Structure 1
Amino acid sequence: MTKCHVCFRQCELKEGQTGFCGARISAGGKVTAANYGRITSLALDPIEKKPLRRFFPGTKILSAGSYGCNLRCPFCQNSEISWGEEAREFSDTAETL
């Protein structure tokens, strides 16, 4: 058993098992990020949609998200992203993007 210390749940994982969040997995006796390089959401949004609304008003911002959340809020506005079944592999660097 490997213990994940990322959040308050402190999941105890058997080899190959994922934690409650779905984003951490036990592999080789270590907890690793199963969602590394995988995205469930990619969008070009107006900056005003973010909590950066006064930062370069009128410009766009690239929003990227991946799956994995240690909560299950019934009112979550991002449940499709944080609990997304389908994730796309993304191996380019941020600079390439």
Structure 2
Amino acid sequence: MLDEKGGIGGGYWQRRRGQKERGGVTAATASKEKRNDLLSILDDSDVEEEEKEERLAMIESSHASVSESLSSFFELNSREFVEEKLGMPYW
């Protein structure tokens, strides 16, 4: 399932961008939309329902892992962490 720009996801990021311009969206709403988009991609394929759920769980797990890694990275590179906790100048 390709969106108007040829990307997978049915316009997920275009919708998110629009919501952000209108004042943001809650994490729960974004998570629900992303799950629904992933399910719609999986629905296009010829796989059993149980396998779809396994694939979705794997995708969500990977997403959570990446989000956690990025969060840790930005925390470790924040001015507060570098200056206050490490006692080094923030460049």
TM range (shorter): under 0.3
- Which is bigger in relative contact order (C-alpha 8 A, separation at least 6)? 1
Give the alignment's TM-score, normalised by structure 2. Answer: 0.22
Kindly name which structure, 1 or 2, has the bigger radius of gyration based on alpha carbons: 2
